[in-house]
A and B are shown apart, each in its own frame.
Chain A
């Protein structure tokens, strides 16, 4: 059984069909890229998986359980985390508080414990803060912890968002255009971070990306979408020879 099984997924927004009968599987520890021209339905695919968009058809299974129909926070609690294309951070919170928010479901403090300052709740909160600092330190950005997220540079924000998404060590991570707008050196940094995360933690990653070299250097398999449909699937070695893919991208 694959970690993520998407069968005949269809997403419609009113009269517009954004995703049409897309199927694919992602195994544990696999890196799957989803590529395609703008408007191909890639982000809509993500939104359907995370519960942010309703399905018009098809099923989504994660570790054997149905994800379709769940609310976004329920999907997230099951172990699917994501980043967003534009500004997914909590701008008025510091980087540390952003990561703490990512840890929300794992902080063992209940409402009454928090209100009355019970030792268990306090300890849980302190442990969470220490863990959040540790996570930022591991990624080399510990010094940014107390800076407001909105004041960070694009590359820094991207890093913080990924640390936040990885905070609970989710089995599945969805990255929506993580490399866009980043300088080449920062892209390299990001690639190294992702490789380490996949290799050491066994986290499966599905990423939407336009930067082809980025996709080629990290993906195990690639899914190509065009106009809502899956038109090709293959490894980085196979795909450049696929004619349909070439037509979609180069209009030949």
Chain B
């Protein structure tokens, strides 16, 4: 120790040297508000097809954000995401068709159903089931739900699917994609902002601490079981709301929409965008929704393009497209604290 009491030694010296190097000023996160603002004029393009694709992107933003919390931030191989998505979609559809609820009142229940499914999916993880076994178990959960959708005919109309009337918001019928767009945009923004607040707090840090070193996390006083459930519940909630949006967008909910191929799409959104990155989930949703649409006229080619895209990104950018953006603009690098 020096006379003045500061730490001396090689570690402190290196740190002091690093402090003398000029540091880049990080641009504020408020730049992210540009994205929804830039999206606002989309309806002015008067192109119904583009409008539909943008609406679909908004649905998959929520799908990606919710899934990323579980597999990215919490770092668990829990692939029950299609179950959350389907349950949210069916919950919204069933309440509309059988109970006569207007669509906008089914959004929160759909989220809650998704959250409950999330809690259910977290139970095996609480019993220390991990990795490969957890993956298979949660995928089976998704398939089980699909079997239930087909069998529960009175509620779900089975394989034919549930046809829902156009969504209603506070008495206003949202008949066109343009009308749906503003509601979807608002919903997506609110949910993403809430999620950002959660992740940028001690809860978000706890999720990642559990991911990186569960034993050390417990040694820091983090109640790992409770936070497992919280992460799964929030992820399920977000995806469940995405499900309600899906029902409103497509107007028809079928069991086939929530099969393993759909799960792969969800997985690709998170991996291509960037694990444990909110910006990555958004980027992944944009890329993986628009790319298949670009090749819609060439069936078969769609799968090829999708697969190639996933392989290329994972080979050259394993941390996702967001890592490329973060290299140029540090604001894309996630930081989980408030300053």
Contact = CB atoms under 8 A, between A and B. Distances in A.
Are A and B subunits of one complex? yes
Interface string A173-195: 00000000001011011001101
A109 B219 contact: no
Contacts of A76: 218-221
A84 B7 contact: no
A115 B194 contact: yes
B227 to A, nearest CB: 10
A85 to B, nearest CB: 11
Interface in B138-193: none
B9 interface: yes
Contacts of A111: 203, 230
A155 B18 CA distance: 16
A140 interface: yes
B15 A114 contact: no
Given A122-B338, A143-B15, A107 B202 contact: yes
A189 B209 contact: no
A59 interface: no
Contacts of A140: 6-9, 11-12, 15-16
Contact of A84 (B18, B200, B216): B216
A73 B216 contact: no
B219 A126 contact: no
A205 B237 CA distance: 44
B224 interface: yes
B11 A89 contact: no
A105 B222 CA distance: 7
Contacts of A88: 213, 216, 219
A73 B214 CA distance: 11
B249 to A, nearest CB: 26
B339 A126 contact: yes
Contacts of B222: 73, 101, 104
Interface in A140-175: 140-144, 146, 153, 155-156, 159, 164, 168
Given A141-B11, A189-B8, A90 B216 contact: yes
B44 interface: no
Contact of B337 (A97, A102, A164): A97
Interface in B54-113: none
Contacts of A52: 215, 218-219
B15 A144 contact: yes
A111 B194 CA distance: 11
B223 interface: yes
Interface of A: 50-52, 71-73, 76-77, 81-82, 84, 87-94, 96-97, 100-105, 107, 109, 111, 114-117, 121-122, 125-126, 128-130, 132, 139-144, 146, 153, 155-156, 159, 164, 168, 183, 185-186, 188-189, 192-193, 195-196
25 contacts: A71-B223, A73-B222, A76-B219, A76-B220, A81-B220, A87-B213, A88-B213, A88-B219, A89-B212, A90-B212, A97-B208, A97-B335, A101-B202, A105-B220, A107-B202, A114-B198, A114-B202, A116-B194, A128-B337, A142-B15, A143-B15, A155-B11, A186-B9, A193-B7, A195-B1
Given A126-B338, A132-B337, A189-B11, 5 more contacts: A90-B216, A93-B208, A114-B202, A156-B15, A185-B9
